[in-house]
């Protein structure tokens, strides 16, 4: 896995100057490196070491997600974002359409706003994972999917876009960038859930 990431990093460096398209990456150092995603997804993997199978299914009193549901949300939504990138890299549809000004600011700052963002109604149907092992398996599969999509996107001559419900039109590179930003955005939610568990005597291992 590390060898693949290093090879793709070098490919990204060598080909960055050839990425000409009418998108935000024309003006910004757009980060779609598999190494960035690798760091973020492995943070989420390592955090699972702190939890038991019981920890990840406890729901807070306000009816929000459990830790397990948060992980499943990240897995399902990130897989969707990668699917969108794979669509964009195969055609030129919507290539002249744009993201919203607020979305552009988000990409410039490489982060979602530090606010709670209400998702679609389907979020209420997010499933509980049966155990940690399943979550780890799905995260590993997700990383491989992202690596493959990044490699094929860098090789593609197409500059298509698909519409995000809030941000409007994103290219393949922008969908892959957004996938990593979205995972980082949910770290604060994870920390709130951990505080809830600790306040209800669900103890984590030291360190």
pLDDT one-digit tens code per residue, 86-138:
999 999 999 999 999 999 999 999 999 876 655 555 556 899 999 999 999 99
Q: Classify the C-alpha dihedral 108-170-18-141 as positive or negative.
A: positive
Closest Cα partner for 30 from 153, 136, 173? 173
| Rounded Cα distance, 204 and 46, in Å | 13
Domain extent listing, the chain: 32-199
| Rounded Cα distance, 85 and 80, in Å | 9
The phi, psi pair for 164, rounded to 5°, reads: -85, 140
Q: What is the DSSP letter of 68?
A: H
| Rounded Cα distance, 177 and 169, in Å | 13
pLDDT value at position 140? 97
Per-residue pLDDT tens digits for 32-77: 567 889 999 999 999 999 999 999 999 998 889 999 999 999 999 9
Contact criterion met (CB below 8 Å) for 32 and 178:
no
Strand ranges (E), the chain: 161-164, 168-171
pLDDT value at position 35? 82
Four-way CATH pick for 32-199: 1.10.3720.10, 1.20.120.450, 1.10.630.10, 3.20.20.20: 1.20.120.450
Whether this prediction's pTM lies above 0.85 is answered by no
């Amino acid at each position: 896995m590390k060898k693949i990431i290093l090879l793709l990093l070098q490919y990204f460096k060598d080909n960055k100057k050839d990425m000409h398209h009418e998108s935000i990456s024309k003006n910004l150092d757009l980060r779609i490196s598999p190494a960035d995603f690798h760091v973020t997804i492995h943070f989420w993997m390592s955090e699972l070491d702190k939890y038991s199978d019981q920890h990840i299914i406890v729901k807070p009193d306000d009816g929000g997600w459990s830790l397990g549901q948060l992980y499943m949300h990240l897995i399902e939504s990130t897989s969707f974002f990668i699917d969108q990138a794979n669509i964009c890299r195969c055609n030129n549809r919507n290539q002249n359409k744009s993201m919203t000004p607020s979305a552009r600011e988000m990409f410039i700052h490489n982060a979602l706003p530090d606010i709670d963002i209400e998702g679609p109604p389907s979020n209420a149907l997010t499933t509980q994972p049966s155990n940690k092992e399943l979550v780890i398996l799905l995260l590993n599969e997700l990383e491989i999917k992202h690596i493959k999509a990044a490699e094929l996107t860098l090789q593609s001559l197409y500059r298509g876009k698909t519409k995000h419900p809030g941000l409007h039109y994103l290219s393949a590179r922008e969908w892959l960038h957004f996938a990593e930003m979205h995972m980082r955005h949910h770290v604060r939610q994870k920390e709130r859930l951990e505080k809830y568990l600790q306040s209800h005597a669900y103890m984590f291992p030291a360190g």
